[in-house]
Amino acid sequence: MFKKRSKAIALLLLVASFQACTTQKLSLKANKPFVGIWQNVKEKGSFITYTEDGHFYNSYKEGDSQVITHSGHYKVIGDGAYLLDITYELPNRKYALKDRQYINHYVFGKDMKSVKLSGVVYSKSGPDTLKWEESMVKVKSF
């Protein structure tokens, strides 16, 4: 009886680990169009960097340095939507982004070298919200 249960449990663990690996592979494949450095069209010193493993970094150029304003993890959750899990923000920001998750929307240009991003963020104090929309272009470096 114990051997049968052990085998059944081992089989379930094997199937669960295979499913987790498959989900991770799908997630990485879904992230692929985002991977790279994206420059804000209106604010030339503002960038978002997306990595293949699901990390992102919002930054701006200050002299010869890049200052990270926000960072965390992202995951494509559907056609036209992705989830941001923000784990870091530069201190004293108006909007409360750190330790929150936001669903943002995206539309890639036909050439996949441009993307329009949009979403909503909330103020640290009160019901003040900011609906935002940014056009980004893919660049090779900062």
Q: Region 98-114: what's the mean pLDDT?
A: 93
If one compares 24 and 63, the residue with the highest pLDDT of the two is: 63
Q: One-letter amino acid identity for 23?
A: T
Choice among 15-19, 79-83, 107-111, 123-127 with the minimum mean pLDDT = 15-19
If one compares 3 and 62, the residue with the highest pLDDT of the two is: 62
CA nearest 65: which of 45, 36, 92?
45
Going by pLDDT thresholds of 50, 70 and 90, the confidence category of residue 72 is: very high
CA distance 54 to 142: 20
Q: Region 3-31: what's the mean pLDDT?
A: 45
Number of domains in the chain: 1
Residue 9, domain member (yes or no): no
Residue 11, domain member (yes or no): no
Residue 12, domain member (yes or no): no
Query: What CATH code is carried by the domain that includes residue 63?
Result: 2.40.128.490
The boundaries of the domain holding residue 100 are: 33-139
If one compares 37 and 125, the residue with the highest pLDDT of the two is: 37
CA distance 129 to 7: 53
pLDDT of res. 100: 86
Torsion of CA 135, 136, 137, 142, to 10 degrees: 140
Residue 109, domain member (yes or no): yes
Element (H, E) at 12: helix 2-31
CA distance 56 to 75: 10
Percent of the chain at pLDDT > 70 equals 77
